[in-house]
């Protein structure tokens, strides 16, 4: 179903409003409560030696990053979204962390929509942005249009998001997913930047992770259940008397947890990088996910809430998350991220 610009903007405003509603959260379902890290009572290092810096490396290019924490993709394509993205991009610029931009779907048909990113870039020229396109749009869009999305954001990589539950429960949803794997393979060959496949809160099975193995993708962001549940979000956009609302209640807890998705990737023995997001709320959880094999860890809702408050709130949030990650590393005897990922720190 084609949308007018006003309908698209209203849908995106609805998403922000409903995503902040506690009813849209699958809190406690990310599986991380079942993971216990081993306390090291006598770490052989000083706290000030703990190093959380990392880098993003592709085809010989090395982009230094201050930490493995990235801002997960959230919103775009409307006035409030631009303000949020400007605040998030300023944080990415100042602190040199990766930032996933919101859906660039509107840009495929409206060239003026790219102006949003020109304004963002003016405020944050050094932001490390990750572009974003949905698999349904990728399937039906010429590759030159996808390349323009990458160019408009000056993206260092491109997220391809998979969201079948969200699309099927969305009144305006696009549910043509056939040939998705082939579309990803074709994109990898022609994009010119790393391609990262991500879910939007429902995670990955072993079988799907294996299917992605030979596509040439750079990484998978497992984005499992445990945070904002987009099936719930779309359900709450409908009236209680409507069928889509009722169907959404049936699927309110659908998905594979973030933790189980990472464990599935270990079972699948995949060669691409593993990233993780989905209900991540503090630096201890970030540490647990890295110990499970994640190279980068995404946070969404806390950054959205802080962005609505301003730059100081964003700075405070990132500082807290990084401090909590450093404490996690110090108390497991991990000097750097490689230690955390390779030492036996999980009980």
CA distances from 83 to 114, 224, 319 (A): 15, 27, 22
Residue 169 lies in a domain: yes
Whether the predicted pLDDT of 1 surpasses 50 = no
Q: What is the mean pLDDT of residues 304-308?
A: 94
Residue 1 lies in a domain: no
Domain with 298 in it: 28-35+69-319
pLDDT of residue 210: 98
| Residue from 119, 118, 88 nearest 101 by CA | 88
87 touches 120 (CB < 8 A):
no
Grade residue 172 by pLDDT with cuts at 50, 70 and 90: confident
| DSSP secondary structure string for all residues of 237-304 | HS-TTSHHHHHHHHTTT-S-BHHHHHHHHHHHT--SEEEE-SS--SHHHHHHHHHTT-SEEEE-HHHH
Q: What percent of the chain has pLDDT over 70?
A: 95
| Residue from 322, 332, 282 nearest 54 by CA | 322
Integer Cα distance of 329 and 50 in angstroms: 7
Q: Number of H helices and number of E strands within the chain? A: 15, 10
pLDDT of residue 9: 64
Other CB atoms within 10 Å distance of the CB of residue 194: 23
Integer Cα distance of 205 and 134 in angstroms: 19
Whether the predicted pLDDT of 76 surpasses 60 = no
Convert the pLDDT of each residue in 92-146 to its tens digit: 999 999 999 988 888 888 877 788 888 899 999 999 999 999 999 999 999 999 9
DSSP letter assigned to residue 33:
G
Integer Cα distance of 5 and 66 in angstroms: 37
Residue 331 lies in a domain: no
Q: Domain holding 309: CATH number? A: 3.20.20.70
pLDDT of residue 110: 82
Integer Cα distance of 6 and 130 in angstroms: 26
Residue 254 lies in a domain: yes
How many structural domains comprise the chain? 1
Residue 337 lies in a domain: no
Whether the predicted pLDDT of 274 surpasses 50 = yes
pLDDT of residue 5: 60
81 touches 70 (CB < 8 A):
no
Whether the predicted pLDDT of 89 surpasses 90 = yes
Q: What is the mean pLDDT of the chain?
A: 92
Integer Cα distance of 40 and 331 in angstroms: 5
Lowest mean pLDDT among 25-29, 41-45, 134-138: 25-29
Residue 223 lies in a domain: yes
Residue 2 lies in a domain: no
Angle CA 317–320–324, to nearest 5: 140
Integer Cα distance of 198 and 237 in angstroms: 23
Whether the predicted pLDDT of 54 surpasses 70 = yes
Integer Cα distance of 58 and 142 in angstroms: 24
Grade residue 4 by pLDDT with cuts at 50, 70 and 90: low
Whether the predicted pLDDT of 7 surpasses 80 = no
Q: What is the mean pLDDT of residues 228-241?
A: 88
Grade residue 292 by pLDDT with cuts at 50, 70 and 90: very high
pLDDT of residue 27: 84
Integer Cα distance of 287 and 220 in angstroms: 18
Residue 194 lies in a domain: yes
Buried b / exposed e along 267-289 (16+ C-beta atoms within 10 A): ebebebbbbbbbbbbbbbbbbbb
């Amino acid at each position: 179903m084609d949308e007018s610009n006003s309908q698209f903007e209203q849908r995106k405003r609805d998403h922000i409003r409903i995503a902040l509603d506690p009813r849209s959260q699958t809190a406690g379902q990310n599986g991380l409560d079942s993971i216990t890290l081993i306390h090291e009572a006598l770490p052989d290092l000083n706290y000030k030696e703990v190093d959380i810096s990392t880098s993003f490396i592709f085809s010989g290019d090395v982009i230094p990053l201050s930490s493995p924490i990235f801002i997960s993709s959230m919103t775009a394509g409307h006035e409030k979204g631009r303000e949020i993205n400007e605040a998030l991009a300023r944080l990415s610029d100042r602190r040199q962390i990766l930032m996933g931009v919101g859906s660039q779907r509107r840009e495929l048909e409206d060239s003026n929509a790219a102006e949003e990113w020109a304004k963002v870039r003016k405020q944050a020229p050094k932001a490390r942005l990750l572009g974003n396109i949905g698999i349904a749009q990728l399937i039906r869009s010429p590759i030159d249009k996808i390349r323009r999305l990458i160019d408009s954001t000056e993206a260092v990589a491109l997220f391809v998001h998979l969201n079948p539950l969200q699309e099927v429960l969305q009144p305006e949803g696009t549910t043509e997913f056939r040939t998705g794997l082939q579309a990803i393979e074709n994109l990898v060959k022609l994009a010119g930047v790393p391609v990262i496949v991500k879910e939007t809160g429902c995670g990955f099975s072993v079988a799907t992770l294996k299917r992605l193995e030979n596509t040439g993708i750079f990484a998978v962001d497992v984005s499992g259940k445990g945070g904002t549940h987009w099936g719930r979000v779309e359900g709450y956009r409908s009236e209680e008397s409507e069928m889509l609302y009722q169907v959404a209640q049936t699927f309110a807890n659908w998905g594979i947890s973030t933790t189980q998705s990472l464990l599935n990737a270990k079972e699948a023995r995949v060669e691409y990088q593993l990233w993780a997001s989905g209900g991540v709320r503090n630096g201890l959880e970030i540490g647990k996910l890295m110990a499970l094999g994640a190279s980068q860890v995404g946070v969404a809702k806390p950054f959205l809430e802080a962005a609505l408050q301003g730059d100081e709130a964003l700075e405070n949030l990132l500082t807290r998350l990084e401090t909590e990650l450093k404490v996690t590393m110090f108390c497991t005897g991990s000097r750097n991220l490689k230690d955390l990922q390779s030492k036996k720190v999980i009980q």
